Amino acid sequence: NELSGKGMGASVGVAQYGKDLIKLILSTLYESSKFKPSLVAPGGFYEKYWYDRLLQVSGLGIINVLTHHLYNLGPGSDEHLERKILDHERLSRVESIFGNLSEIIKIYGPWSSAWVGEAGGAYNSGVNHVSNRFLNSFCALLWHRLMGKKVLAVSSDVHIKDFYLQLGNVSRS
């Protein structure tokens, strides 16, 4: 999580990340499985160069969903957060990220699609009375309208223990 680009505390170079996706997820973890999962990656903050390269280095048909995290107000500790939450230009920057991702997918990975993996106004829980009221109520409304009350059963022939055992076999940068 959040290892793309500059990362959040740690990062992995794009070439290594692409190789690790293939080795750990597809080749090692699911090599004897009858079903291959849809691969959703990288789950980090969008940085154009890194994302441009990811679909190229991972290869044809590998990443089914190109995800990014969207916290367009920045950190909750920002003393200017109240001003940012009312700035329509800042809030509209989301459109350029999706435009860039759509272009990347069109050029390097037409088999893939763009999703937001995590979202909120400000990361690190925002600020009381500024970013935790409107966004939380909006997210709750959106959740109930989109998700509804049904829960689908999910199963897999891959065991979590095997996943963690394989983590030690993947190179790190």
Q: Which residues are catalytic?
A: 2, 118
Token pair of 17 as six digits: 């990340």
Q: Which residues pair with 68 in a beta bridge?
A: 44, 116
Burial label for 63, CB within 10 Å (0-12, 13-18, 19+), is: buried
Closest CA relative to residue 155, chosen from 44, 31, 51, 35 = 35
Radius of gyration of the chain (CA): 18
The structure tokens listed for 168 are: 């030690």
| Distance separating alpha carbons of residues 7 and 145, to the nearest angstrom | 33
Say which residues have a Cβ less than 8 Å from residue 60's Cβ, sequence separation at least 6.
111
H or E segment to which residue 140 belongs: helix 134-147
